[in-house]
Amino acid sequence: MPSLRQMTRDSGYIFAGKVTGIERVADSLTADVSTVRITFQVEQGIRGVRTGQTLVIREWVGLWEQGERYRLGERVLLFLYRPSQLGLTSPVAGPLGRFTVDRNGKIDLQPDRIASLASDPAEVQLRGKTRVTRRDFARAIRRLVEE
């Protein structure tokens, strides 16, 4: 399984944000495949995006149909792959690259993820915690990037 360090390395965007728009880009020709355009208001930019910025990503509609979905107003922290040559992206390592942000702005570190996070010695600030602030999470990620 990828460690947090590896997930960070393979991420084009890491941020906590709020979903402000979802739009299905309809097929324009029969040979085309639809995508879903998702807009985020970035509340804590960590990598590849700045706090306060609006980020628009596109996801393959097949992935959306599989359940990799968002809803308006939802707050998440995402590790997203760098967009492909098709301009598509999705959470790194699927559900592992997607964290829930609660109404207090804290990131929910689910039990199995804690074990994964603890495997990386650089993640002192996250180890053993079930919820962390966005700022603490961002600090830990930046430390990984710098090392």
Partner 1 sequence: MAAVVTRIREQPTRLRRLLWLLLYTLLAIFLMLLLPQMGSAGGPRYIAGVNYFDAGTKGTPLTWAQGSISYYTDQGDLSPLLVHAAADLFVADAFSDWTSIPTAAVATTLAGQLGEDVNGTNVIANGNGTFTMPSDILPTAVNKPVAIVYDSDGAVTSALLGSGAGNTLYCFTNSVFGGADSLSTNARLYALVIVNGNCAQTSSQLPDLKYRMVRTFGRVLGLDCSQVNLNVITRSPVPTAADYAGFTIMHATDSISCVPISICYTNPDQPKMDDRASLSRLYPVTLQNQSNFPGKQLFFENTIRIHGTVHFVDANGQPAQPMQGVNVMARWVDPTTGLASRAYAAASVSGFMFRGYAGNPVNGPNDGSGQPFDRFGSDDAAVEGTFDLAGLEIPGSGGSAQCELTVEAIDPLWSQTVGPYGPWAGAAFRLDSADRSHREQRWQSPARHPHAGQCGSSPGLVRTGRLHVTCAASDSRRVAGRAQRARRGDGIGKGRLRSVRQPKFGTLERYR
Residues that bind partner 1 (CB under 8 A): 1-2, 6, 10, 12, 21-37, 58, 60, 62-67, 69-72, 74, 80-90, 92-96, 110-113, 115-116
Q: Closer CB to partner 1, residue 67 or residue 121?
A: 67
Q: How far is the CB of 53 from partner 1 (least distance, A)?
A: 19
Q: Which amino acid is at 136?
A: D
Q: Closer CB to partner 1, residue 86 or residue 124?
A: 86
Q: How far is the CB of 67 from partner 1 (least distance, A)?
A: 5
Q: Closer CB to partner 1, residue 63 or residue 122?
A: 63
Place of tokens 């804690």: 114
Q: How far is the CB of 21 from partner 1 (least distance, A)?
A: 8
Residue count of the chain: 147
CA dist 118 and 125 (Å) reads: 10
CA dihedral 41, 125, 10, 43 (to 10 degrees): 10
Q: Closer CB to partner 1, residue 131 or residue 139?
A: 131
CA dist 127 and 33 (Å) reads: 42
Cα 56 off chain centre by: 13
